[in-house]
Amino acid sequence: MTGIGLTHILFVSISLFFIGVYGFLTRRNMIMMLMSIELILNSVNLNFIAFNKYLWANKMDGLFFTIFIIAIAAAEAAVAIAIIINLYRSHRSIDVEDASDLKF
Amino acid sequence: MINELLLMKSELAVTAVIFILLFIKISDTTSNETVLKIVNALLLLNVAFGFCCMDTTGELFSGMFKTNALMSFEKNMLNIGTLLISLLSYEWLRNHRHLPEFFVLMLSSLLGMFFMISSGNFLIFYLGLELSTIPVAALCNFDMEKKQSSEAAMKMIMSSAFSSGILLFGISMMYGTTGTLSFAELPMLLTGSPLQVFSFILLFTGFAFKLSVVPFHLWTADVYEGSPVAVTSFLSVISKGSIVFIFLTTLYNAFAPMGEVWYNLIFLLSVATMIVGNLFALRQQNMKRFLAFSSIAQVGFILIGISGGGQNGTASSVYFMLVYIFSNLGAFGAVQLISSFSGKETIDSYKGLYQTNPLLSWVLTISLFSLAGIPPTAGFFGKFFLLASGAEKGNYILITIAALNMIVSLYYYLRVVRAIFMEKNEQPVAAIQGSIYEKAGLLICVAGIIAVGLYSHFYEYIYALSAF
Amino acid sequence: MNLSLLIIIPLAAAIAVLLSRNGQQVKWISFLSSIAQLGLSLFLLSAFMSERANGNVSQMLFEQRYSWFAPLNIEYYIGVDGISISMILLTAFVVLAGVLMSWNIEKMTKEFYFLLLLLSLGAYGFFISLDLFTLFFFLEIAVIPKYLLIGIWGSGNKEYSANKLALMLMGGSALVLVGIFAVYFMSGIHSFDLLKLSEAHIAIDVQKIFFPMLFVGFGVFTAIFPFHTWVPDGHSSAPTAGSMFLAGISMKLGGYGCLRVATYLMPEAAKEYAPIIIILASIAILYGAFATMMQKDLKYINAYSSVSHCGFVLLGIGMLTKTSIEGAVMQMVSHGLMTALFFAVIGMIYERTHTRKVEELGGLLKIMPFVCSVLFIVGLCSLGLPGFSGFVAEMTVFMGSWQNPEMFYRIATIAACMSIVVTAVYILRAVGKTAMGPITNEHFLNLKDAAWNERLAAIVLVLGIVAIGIAPFWLSDLVSPGAELIVNKIAGVIIY
Amino acid sequence: MFDKLTLSLIPLLPLLSFLLLGLFGRKVFKNFSGIIGTGALLASAGLSIMTAYNYFFVSGKVDGVYQKITALKISWLEFSPGVSIDIGILLDPISVMMLVVVTFVSLMVHIYSLGYMKGEERFSTYYAFLGLFTFSMLGLVMSSNIFQIYIFWELVGVSSFLLIGYYFDKPSAVAAAKKAFIVTRFADLGFLIGILVLSFNAHTLDFETLIQRLTDPNSEYMRSAIAPAFLGFSSLTWGLVLVFIGGAGKSAMFPLHIWLPDAMEGPTPVSALIHAATMVVAGVFLVGRLFPIFAISCPGALELVAYTGALSALFAAIIACTQTDIKRVLAYSTMSQIGYMMFALGVSGYGNEDGLGYMASMFHLFTHAMFKALLFLGAGAVIHFVHSNEMNDMGGLRKHMPITHITFLIACLAIAGVPPLAGFFSKEEILLAAFHHNKLIYGIALITSGITAFYMFRLYFNIFWSKEFHSHGEHHGEGGLVMMLPLILLSLGAAFAGFIPFSQLVTSDGKPFETVLHLGFSVAPVLLGLAGIFIALRFYKTQNDLSEKISSSLSGFYKSAYHKFYIDEVYLFITHKVIFNLIGKPAAWFDKTIVDGFINRLGSSSEKVSDEIKTLQSGQVQQYAAYFLAGAIGLGIIFIYVLTLK
């Protein structure tokens, strides 16, 4: 073993990504869906940092990007939760399948 | 210093307006009418300011932000669109509790778009994208008491969060394979390896999502239908416009080496988009939903223009967006007016509209004809140039499919026209007395629809700008 | 001679109509403008003839050229030769008659006349354009007014008919659009200039693909089989003036396009596809005629007979001889005038008797001698009686067609000739039953003969028909240089 | 020589009368219309007779040969260099002769109609149409161009249509008018194609050039024309046969004759003019016009002409014996006599004595015009008197209508070929020509001539003798001077026209020749004629049942002859059952269901597809995301796969 390589990290991040996707597609609770999205974003963060460290160590692009992603994810979550709260007021539920009046 | 500030003048102007609005919000004593007056005046100023010093070209933040005359022009187009939306939503906004917030959110989104358009780096691009998306999601919820509105907002934020997750994944892969985030450096580093292609496709889906390209379009109709008309029109015109602009820059510059991939991608997707959009539009009853699908179909056409590449591709797409702003806002404006005065939004309720509101009917009809691409409206020219740009590549299958799709789209536009002019109704929409703002807005739209097409200098100007 | 006046006058009139205050003003504005149009086109004719007499041999006269959308080399480029002038004259006649025939429109008068004028604008523009973009622009301008005219002022199953018409015509123009792009890019000169394009060489393989598109695209307008079904429905539902414009002008756009654009620009392919065109045209001629025989409604009769008559246009074009092409153009003019008149008469009858069913009509000659005399005239013209335009045109087509010595062309010509008998059958059946025989309905006895506007409209068109029928030489002299040019181009073609 | 203006005035005067009366007749001229029409025609007839005199006796003959003179030629429509329709005036013996016939008979009819049509509501229209007809007919005979003749050919057709349908509120009249037009139109189709064929081969439409090119065996045109073209016949044969079909239609030759009897629905003077003296002989005239081509280049086609003529002559004569409507009898008689003219042409050769048949045919055309017009006008007077067309309503009229009686008798004798009346001479020439050429035809002609005498006198006796006339209500005499004058003038013609030395004037090649009357040869036909008259006398002079006995003994044959051999029924079957049901209806059905159905199906199926795929848009945001992901991955797979394949 030569320590943890890029491949391992990528393996983790991609797993994370798909776990997130899976969660997003299957969870009916909107908050859970938001959390799944966080997972996806985190997998991206991992990617960036790993690439930055292993491949392009002389540039800081990846790191910065990660920071911004974290910040924006927070903003997104804030708005999303506000919307979900509002939705709860009218629907009395935060089950995503209950909010499907608009279709076809 | 002044020069550097001038490069960001559009952004700065919008920021200034946002701050003024924030102050107004804080003082919270002015009536809605006054606020609207102020806002419209500011937006008008903003447009006027936008046309000053247009040809400034340059970069800031070591290439992360760049601008040129074309981008200034694009931003101005979006400014005009925003002004029009504000004018056209007068009736709805007049009674709204959170008027200043509406504008703050909308303008923030606009600001995000400006940054996105000017971005020279994935980071700025991502920031702009999110800044333009998240406030709109909040805007979607602006009919607070309506169930549909919050559903639409939820769908918007969920879908866009998911999409930006995928997009980011793509960006990260792209970063991993090339080591850069800068658009300028990217072309030299692209090798066309499968992983790069795949990450490009993921990136592409981010654009496609915002543009509502099939199969990434599914949120569009629901969100459009549930949101207030003003937001719908903002989404379908301004937001789409900004994405088209940045799409052009990235494809033509950053991903130029992948030309073949994205050409085929666009070919496939534009066919799917036109067909699916049209087929869905055929049987819609709600005007907003109907316009949503029609705008999906329009995107198919825009993709054809984009596929052409080069100066023609840029010019035709930008020109079409200009036309599209006027046409679509004309249509949405009429829908908005009818909806806010009578609450009716279905095509059936438009029956006999001509008897009570002849002028409004003509405005709506002309806008729809422009969307359908019927001369002498600007839509005809727009579509013609899009197809011309696409035809340059010699892919006549695509052009033929597009041309045939124009027939289908004509069919459903005519459905509305038929309802307005030909069918009888016991209780048509009552005569509508719009305010001066709405009249001005509609007038600008109609004037735009007529003039932008027939007066060829618009196109020639855009073409000249597209040389960048 | 400023050709743009042909566009400016209807445009100005249309705007004036929009601004006018009451129906009376609207009518008079339209009437005066259509008189001005007619005057202008007659003046154009004389100016053209005197130019030619003075030895001006350039292909197109009175050219005007302004750059429009310079990046794509789009120009507002207009000019006329004999063929276009004959079409312009036709338009002017039909427009005047159509305006007169609509004098009693009560519902939304302003809009009605606005659309009529818009339609005429499109037609004029189309006929004078020498730039494919401009041409296409005007072609499409002329579609939507038809839709609205039928849909709003029509009768019967009007929405369906209007829809069908608009969609099929748009379908046609969509094909034309593709063809135009192909010509633009494949000719290698990136220009929409018709004359320049005609000199550029388009590879034969390209022609083979895009000629059918252009031809069928324009053909839809002129009711090429099997894309003719909009004709019966559209005509029968349209208001009188609508039918007149539709059959008199609009169907001619297609024929003109087939000739001026498709055949002229792609002669090799035209030669290659000639047999197919001829087969389709012969089918349209005979099949249209036989289908007409079975119709019971006067408008359907005329509509199907239009299919049959327009078949001659396509036949003439397909035969690719100078005489046959000349005949095709003459047939366009002739059929335009004739069918407009026919619809006008049907309109007069319908307005009075409120029926168009042949069985329900009878003996009208006694009650309205003027209307029925016109009906006779137009019927006789339709069945190709000498002295009227139909004869001249059809005979020219026949003579031209017969110049192809191969058996296939011969058979097609004979098949086309056969239609003159079938035409006689259905025309006499319709006219005979309507005008002659016992009076079928007592309340017909109280009906009045034509009013002044109807008389004027009918006389204008009859004059046109007779002017060609009695003295065809001016028309043939007018048309033949243009036809010759096209044929020379084809003659120079070597089939690989 | 010939003044263009004078010549043009001959047809133009009637045209002028048509235009004046047609446009203003009803309102302005009213009862003066007749006078105006007649005046115009009088002038026209005067000019024609002047022209005829001028042509035959002053300037027409050069070096002993009557010339073909193209007096006028205006290019009307040029198809291609050399091939153009010229409107012109061609003077040669037959056209000049026809000028006289047409204007003279037309003048008679104009005068006669002043009385006959008096008080009609559409009096001026009637005269307008007569003017139109006369114009067209004159144009036809003067044509210098084969397409010109076609133009006027159509115009006489339509004038005939208008005049037959003059009583337009009578459905039978309308039907007859339509039938006449459509049947002749059908024949004209042949004519038209014939023109196309001939003109293509000769590269000209001009008669003179056409004849010259297609009779010269060395010309290149001729060579291409006689090469076998289709079904083993040369295109020349086809052309001529097709042209002849056109002629046969107009001239009511079997089997295209069905319109003629029905055409009697028109006013009787019209029948006299159009359906006896002038228009129906146009076919004969046409064949005569192209006779050199027929005779020199294509004798085969001429055979067809001969047999068609002979068959029609016999066929019509038999039917004529059974009809009871006096006008129909005359109509069949006309058909029979035209058959004579046709086969006379058919048995003729070209040039000099060989051209006897041609001369005889033209001669018979001339005399026939006189006596047949007379017969019709006489019949008109009778009908005017008894208000019926049926023989049964007549009888014993000789005392009531003495002038009519005498003139009618003269005409009957003339047509029966009793010497020395006009018909005798012309018929003798025909028989002689047939005898020299074809014995079979001669036989048919001989029999026909006997039958002719029989049915004419059957007619005569039934009208004027038979039973006593019982008058119902008041009668208004014979119709006054205007009606009697034409009868008298025509009877003079019928009596003495035979003494005109026709062979000196009208011959196939323009060179006069001598004819002698072989008394011995005349015996048989004259005797046969007399026998016919005698039988008729026995049967019909007084009322008796002899005729019925005969007819019942021949019941089958009589019945089918009475029903005109069921030709009408055959046509009816073909048109209604075959064309309407087997072509028209399927065409209409096909159009509605298949062609239109396809277009509609296109619309409805896209709506259907649109409905089918609506579940894609389920409203579930997670499903949207799934599609999103599937789309992204799918595209990825497609593109990477494509890339690796490369």
| Strand partners for D61 | D66
Which residues in chain A have Cβ-Cβ distances shorter than 8 Å to B135?
79
Please name the residues in contact with B401: beta carbons below 8 A apart, sequence gap of 6 or more.
Answer: B271, B274, B275
Residue spans of the domains in chain C: they are: 5-491
Residues of B in contact with A89 (CB under 8 A): 150
Query: Which ipTM was obtained for this model?
Result: 0.90
- Residue D218 pLDDT: 80
**Burial group, residue C445, by CB count within 10 angstroms (0-12, 13-18, 19+):** exposed
User: What single-letter amino acid sits at B314?
Assistant: T
> Any idea of the CA torsion for B327, B328, B331, B333, to the nearest 10 degrees?
-110
Contact B318, B70 (CB under 8 A): yes
Length of chain A: 104
| Any C CB within 8 A of D43 CB | no
How confident is the model at residue C439, as a pLDDT? Answer: 82
Residue C331 pLDDT exceeds 60: yes
What count of Cα atoms within 13 Å lies in the side-chain half-sphere of residue D526? Answer: 15
DSSP E strands in C145-301: the ranges are none
- Number of neighbours of residue D217 by Cβ within 10 angstroms: 10
Concatenated DSSP letters of chain A: --S--HHHHHHHHHHHHHHHHHHHHH--BHHHHHHHHHHHHHHHHHHHHHHHHHT-TT--HHHHHHHHHHHHHHHHHHHHHHHHHHHHHHHS--BGGG---S--
Report d(CA C432, CA D118) in Å as an integer: 26
Chain C: residue nearest D592 by CA?
Answer: C229
CB contact under 8 A, C432 and D178: yes
Confidence of residue C95 (pLDDT cuts 50, 70, 90): very high
Cα separation of A73 and A60, whole Å?
Answer: 20
Top-confidence residue, D62 or A36? A36
Looking at D198-310, which runs of residues are DSSP E strands? 228-230, 233-234
Nearest of D167, D94, D35 to residue D506 by alpha carbon: D94
pLDDT of residue C495: 47
- Contact check, Cβ <8 Å, B161/A76: yes
Does C185 contact B at CB distance below 8 Å?
yes
Interface test with D, best of C385, C436, C468, C473 (most D CBs within 10 A): C436
Q: What is the pLDDT of residue B468?
A: 67
B132-161 exposure pattern, b = at least 16 Cβ within 10 A, e = fewer: bbbbbbbbbbbbeeebbbbbbbbbbbbbbb
Question: For the residues A12-24, what does the mean pLDDT come to?
Answer: 93
Task: Give the list of residues 6+ apart from residue C231 with CB closer than 8 angstroms, or none.
Answer: C223, C247, C251, C303, C304, C306, C307
pLDDT tens for residues D285-303?
998 888 888 888 888 888 8
The first and second tokens of residue C374, run together, are: 């016109």
Question: Does residue A95 belong to the interface with chain B, where contact is any CB pair within 8 Å?
Answer: no
| Nearest-by-CA chain A residue for B134 | A76
- Check D595 against C323: CB less than 8 A apart: no
Q: What b/e string do you get for A48-74 counting C-beta neighbours within 10 Å, with b at 16 or more? A: bbbbbeebbeeeebbeebbeebeebbe
Nearest to B18 by CA among B91, B76, B101: B101
For the residues D5-28, what does the mean pLDDT come to? 85
% of chain C with per-residue pLDDT over 70: 99
Chain B hits for C162, Cβ within 8 Å? 418, 422
Q: What mean pLDDT value characterizes chain D?
A: 84
C456-494 pLDDT, tens digit each: 999 999 999 999 888 888 888 888 888 888 888 887 665
pLDDT value at position D505? 82
Average pLDDT, chain C: 89
What is the pLDDT at residue D471? 63
User: If you ran DSSP here, which 8-state letter would residue D80 be given?
Assistant: E
Dihedral, CA of residue D533, residue D534, residue D538 and residue D541, to nearest 10: 50
Q: Any idea which residue has 């119902």 for tokens?
A: D472
Would you list the domain boundaries of chain B? Answer: 2-465
**pTM of the predicted model as reported, rounded to 2 decimal places:** 0.91
The answer to whether the peptide bond before residue B376 is cis (omega within 30 degrees of 0) is yes
Interface present between A and C (3 or more CB pairs within 8 Å): no
- Beta carbons within 10 angstroms of residue D245's beta carbon: 23
Read off the pLDDT of each residue in D26-53 and give the average, rounded to a whole number: 85
Q: Which of B456-460, C180-184, D62-66 has the lowest mean pLDDT?
A: D62-66
- Kindly state the average pLDDT of the residues C102-117: 88
pLDDT at D474 over 60: no
- Kindly list the distances between the CA atom of residue C277 and the CA atoms of C211, C215, C362, D198, in Å, as whole numbers in the listed order: 11, 9, 40, 26
Q: What domains appear along chain A, each with residue ranges and CATH number?
A: 6-91 (1.10.287.3510)
Question: Which of C71, C141, C163 lies closest to B315 in CB terms?
Answer: C71
**CB of C10 less than 8 A from some CB of D:** no
Residues D340-353 as b/e (b if ≥16 CB within 10 A, e otherwise) read bbbbbbbbbbbbee
How far are the Cα atoms of C138, C374, C466, D49, D365 from residue C245, in angstroms, in the given order?
15, 19, 20, 52, 51
In tens, the pLDDT along D242-275 reads 999 998 988 888 888 888 888 888 888 888 888 8
Q: Is the pLDDT of residue D613 over 80?
A: yes
pLDDT value at residue D1: 59
**How large is the C-alpha radius of gyration of chain D?**
31
Q: What angle do CA A46, A51, A53 make, to 5 degrees?
A: 95
Cβ pair A25:D614 closer than 8 A:
no
Looking at the predicted structure, is the pLDDT value of residue D466 above 80? no
Quick check: C293 contacting D, CB < 8 Å? yes
What type of residue is C419?
A: S
**Is the pLDDT confidence value at D516 over 80?**
no
Angle in degrees, CA D471, D474, D477, rounded to 5? 90
Mean per-residue pLDDT, B442-446: 94
**Closest Cβ–Cβ partner in C137, C159, C182 for B375:** C137
Task: Supply the pLDDT for residue B295.
Answer: 92
Instruction: Determine which of D74, D599, D606 to mutate to test the interface with C (most C C-beta atoms within 10 Å).
Output: D599
A24: nearest CA in chain B?
A: B162
Q: Does C202 score more than 90 pLDDT?
A: no
CA distances to D153, D180, D487, D497 from D156, in Å: 5, 11, 25, 26
Q: What is the pLDDT of residue D484?
A: 85
Is the CB of residue D614 less than 8 Å away from at least one CB of chain A? Answer: yes
Looking at residue D477, its pLDDT comes to: 66
Q: For strands C61-67 and B65-67, give the pairing.
A: unpaired
**Residue B302 pLDDT more than 90?**
yes
| Amino acid at site B204 | F
- Predicted local distance difference test score (pLDDT) of residue C493: 60
Phi–psi pair at B337, nearest 5 degrees? -60, -50
Q: What is the mean pLDDT of residues C418-424?
A: 88
Contact partners for chain A, using 3 or more CB pairs closer than 8 A, are B, D
